[in-house]
Amino acid sequence: MITDTYIWLERLSSLHRSLMRKAANAEGMQLVQIEILQYLAMCNRYSNTAQALSEYLGQTKGSISQSLKCLEEQNLVERKPCTEDGRIVRLYLTAKSKEIMKRIEKRLTPDIHDDEKTIAAFKSILKTWQRQKNQKGFGQCRSCRFNIDKGDGSFLCGLTDEPLKKAETMQICREHEFA
Ligand code: SF4
């Protein structure tokens, strides 16, 4: 049975997708390319890999790799070996793609102030939906069960045991788990 929750979720996601498609057209790019740039603009330092992108967008590694090649050729994405583990290649926005993302965020972000109750409702829906569909990860760091607020303005990731900057707690993470 189609519930009211499902209908409103569908409306939100289809509106977002339609706006993304328009933004992609305005930039002369494909939707998937904009989705990749948007992901890289939001994700944290543990999540900026081709594998994470493929999980996040639900696309095959082959198709992500094609799109990344195209973005690299246009100087919109840069690959660099991980400084801690040379076997891992990390992906970064370039100055050129950061400018594109500024324009896209302007086009897409609704002029609605963050409201605690609304955000709590969004989080609750995501948590329930992910659990029911056996999906995980990609939540905002500050809502993760491993996020430790040390109370003095600093944060720690309890999974990696590494310090987190406050700005990083706003990003999304592949390893995120709801409390
Ligand atoms: S606290 Fe959770 S979301 Fe944040 S970096 Fe660690 S694993 Fe990722």
Instruction: Give yes or no for residue 15 having a pLDDT over 90.
Output: yes
DSSP state of 170: G
- C-alpha of residue 164 to centroid of ligand 1, in Å: 9
In the chain, what is the straight-line distance between the N-terminal and C-terminal CA atoms, in Å? Answer: 29
State the pLDDT at residue 179: 86
* Range 19-26 average pLDDT: 96
**Ligand 1 proximity of 157 Cβ (cutoff 6 Å):** yes
What's the average model confidence in pLDDT over 84-90? 93
The contacts of residue 135 (CB under 8 Å, 6+ apart) are: 129
> Is 147 touching ligand 1 by the criterion CB < 6 Å?
yes
| Residue 146 CA, closest ligand 1 atom number | 1
Query: Whose CA is closest to atom 5 on ligand 1?
Result: 157
**Whole-angstrom Cα distance, residue 33 to residue 71?**
7
Q: What is the mean pLDDT of the chain?
A: 96
Q: How confident is the model at residue 105 (pLDDT cuts 50, 70, 90)?
A: very high
With residue 160 as reference, give the H or E element that holds it: none
The pLDDT score that the predictor gives to residue 100 is 98
Is pTM beyond 0.75? Reply is: yes
Query: Which ligand 1 atom is the nearest neighbour of the CA of 141?
Result: 3
Q: With a cut of 90, say whether residue 160 has pLDDT above it.
A: yes
Name the band, by pLDDT with cuts 50, 70 and 90, for residue 69: very high
Mean pLDDT along residues 149-176: 96
pLDDT exceeds cutoff 90 at 136:
no
User: Mean per-residue pLDDT for 103-107?
Assistant: 94
For 13, the token pair is 């996601």
Alpha-carbon dihedral sign for residues 7, 20, 71, 52: negative
Residue 54: pLDDT above 90? yes
Domain ranges of the chain: 4-108, 116-173
Query: 44 CA distance to ligand 1 centroid (A)?
Result: 9
Pairing of strands 77-81, 139-140: unpaired
Q: Which atom of ligand 1 is nearest to the CA of 140?
A: 3
The answer to whether the beta carbons of residues 33 and 24 sit under 8 Å apart is: yes
Kindly write down the DSSP assignment for every residue of 41-108, as one continuous string: HHB-TTS-SHHHHHHHHT--HHHHHHHHHHHHHTTSEEEEE-SS-TT-EEEEE-HHHHHHHHHHHHHH
Considering the four listed CATH numbers 3.40.630.30, 1.10.287.610, 3.40.630.10, 1.10.10.10, the one that applies to the domain covering 4-108 is: 1.10.10.10
